[in-house]
Amino acid sequence: MIKRMIIMLVATGIIFGGIFGYKAYSGMMMGKMMASRGIPLQTVSTITAGYQPWQPSLKAVGTVTAMRGADLSPEIAGIVSAIHFNQGEEVKAGDLLLELDAGSDLARLHSLAAAAALAKTTFQRDQAQLKVHAISQQQLDTDEANLKQALANVAEQQAQVDRKMIRAPFDGKLGIRKVDLGQYLSAGTVIVTLQSLDPIYLDFRLPQQALASIEVGQKVLATTDAWPEQTFPGTIEVIEPQIDPLTRNVTVRARLDNREKRLLPGMYASVNINTAAPQQLITLPQSSIAYNPYGNLVFVVEQGASDKQGKPMLIAKQIFVTTGNTRGDQVAILNGVKEGDQVVTAGQIKLRNGSPVAINNSIQPANSPDPKVSEK
């Protein structure tokens, strides 16, 4: 019995030893094969670094605001008796737009005007009588006070009548009419909006560090997706004299030329401000930069040692760079890359320092300074 167990244990040991030995041999042979193959060749695309003109600028998005804009409404309540405007038309300051029923107010105005006329006649008659000493100075003073009071009553009632006639406070374009003939209006009910569209304002915000680059009178250029092929020139008119303590941004107002009245209040628009003379900077596609907490880097393709067949090899070299501002698909390189360097633009995620590479530039990443959104 014991002999059989010994034979079984020996047989089991031989079997497991063979299995483990085979695994060790296979691993050793695989390691030798991988070592003989070396580091695999990686295919990348590259671009030749070169200088391009670069216009330092600030960009922001703002809201279009009318130079003068108001929702017109009556000061007092009344019934609409006449409408003198058409929706969407241009009006001048002082044009009569709407009348509220003022029949009772006009009647009272006529009554007060008659009383004022009588007081004036009495005053003029008593002036003549005073010269012949027919009345006292006290009587004439009383007549003069009565005349002034009567005229004040007329002026007050005239103001009441004028409040029922809504006029345009400035030149502009009317919007949609929101009342109808015969409708009772409470004080403050909106009748129509009036907007002055040319020129027009654009309000936008910039970070506080931009204050050193902007000033009143500086030229700006605005664009909007409503009119993608058109630009709207203007100038900075006001810089807010305080910084928002929550965002540390400053509000800037630019005055834009809007002769065609294409910009409307409430629209958003992008604004570009040139802050200095054009420079010559090395630019690269943003896709070529590897952004890391410890620094930004790129891979540059250089000539390496020859392979076993004696052919020259290309290798990727890792270089840290200092990046500047961005525009579109491009980023400015301030330090680290020289003119003429072959910089990897795609495929760098599979590279490490010294990796052998092959270049295939049949496909290149976007590299436009001002990319446009395709409508297709």
Question: What CATH number does the domain containing 221 carry?
Answer: 2.40.30.170
Please check whether residues 300 and 253 belong to one and the same domain.
no
Q: 26 CB contacts (<8 Å, ≥6 apart)?
A: none
In a domain, 203, yes or no: yes
Please check whether residues 288 and 339 belong to one and the same domain.
yes
Residue 27 pLDDT:
66
Cα 235 to the center of its chain, rounded Å: 16
In a domain, 353, yes or no: yes
In a domain, 119, yes or no: yes
In a domain, 285, yes or no: yes
Residue 376 pLDDT:
45
Q: 216 is written with which tokens? A: 């009143």
Q: 271 CB contacts (<8 Å, ≥6 apart)?
A: 59, 60, 61, 62, 202, 204, 220, 221, 222, 254
Query: Mean pLDDT, 10 residues at a time, over the chain (376 residues)?
Result: 71 72 66 54 87 83 91 89 89 90 81 85 80 80 85 85 87 91 89 91 92 90 89 93 92 92 91 83 88 88 72 84 85 89 87 85 82 58
Please check whether residues 155 and 139 belong to one and the same domain.
yes
What is the spatial distance between Cα 170 and Cα 297, in angstroms, rounded to a whole number?
59
What is the spatial distance between Cα 237 and Cα 241, in angstroms, rounded to a whole number?
13
Per DSSP, the residues of 183-237 read -EE-TT---EEEEEEEEEEEEEEEEGGGGGG--TT-EEEEE-TTSTT--EEEEEE
Last residue of a domain, one of 235, 259, 274: 274
Residue in the structure block whose two tokens are 């590279």? 351
Residue 177 pLDDT:
92
Residue 168 Cα distances to 86, 111, 180, 193, angstroms: 13, 29, 18, 10
Q: What's the number of domains the chain is made of?
A: 4
Q: Which residues pair with 303 in a beta bridge?
A: 314
In a domain, 80, yes or no: no
Q: Are 62 and 203 in contact (CB under 8 A)?
A: yes
Please check whether residues 266 and 296 belong to one and the same domain.
no
Q: Are 92 and 70 in contact (CB under 8 A)?
A: no
Overall residue count recorded for the chain in this entry = 376
Please check whether residues 155 and 208 belong to one and the same domain.
no
| CATH code of the domain containing 141 | 1.10.287
Residue 35 pLDDT:
46
Cα 165 to the center of its chain, rounded Å: 39
Residue 38 pLDDT:
54
In a domain, 270, yes or no: yes
Residue 161 pLDDT:
79
First to last CA, the chain: 86
- Residue 208, domain extent: 58-67+195-274
Residue 29 pLDDT:
61
Please check whether residues 120 and 265 belong to one and the same domain.
no
In a domain, 74, yes or no: no
Residue 265 pLDDT:
92
pTM score? 0.64
Q: Where are the beta strands (DSSP E) in the chain?
A: 42-48, 50-54, 57-72, 78-83, 90-91, 96-100, 165-167, 172-174, 184-185, 192-207, 219-223, 232-239, 249-256, 268-274, 279-285, 296-306, 312-327, 330-335, 342-346, 356-359
Please check whether residues 158 and 112 belong to one and the same domain.
yes
Half-sphere exposure of 326 (CA within 13 A, CB side): 10
Last residue of a domain, one of 274, 301, 335: 274
Please check whether residues 135 and 152 belong to one and the same domain.
yes
Cα 121 to the center of its chain, rounded Å: 67
Please check whether residues 297 and 262 belong to one and the same domain.
no
Residue in the structure block whose two tokens are 């501002």? 325
Residue 373 pLDDT:
58
Last residue of a domain, one of 163, 180, 210: 163
Please check whether residues 155 and 119 belong to one and the same domain.
yes
Residue 304 pLDDT:
74
Please check whether residues 227 and 288 belong to one and the same domain.
no
Please check whether residues 266 and 332 belong to one and the same domain.
no
Secondary structure class of 317 (helix, strand, coil): strand
Going by C-alpha positions, the residue among 249, 112, 258, 108 that lies closest to residue 173 is 258
Q: Are 47 and 366 in contact (CB under 8 A)?
A: no
| CATH code of the domain containing 334 | 2.40.420.20
Residue 308 pLDDT:
62
Q: 134 is written with which tokens? A: 């027919």
In a domain, 254, yes or no: yes
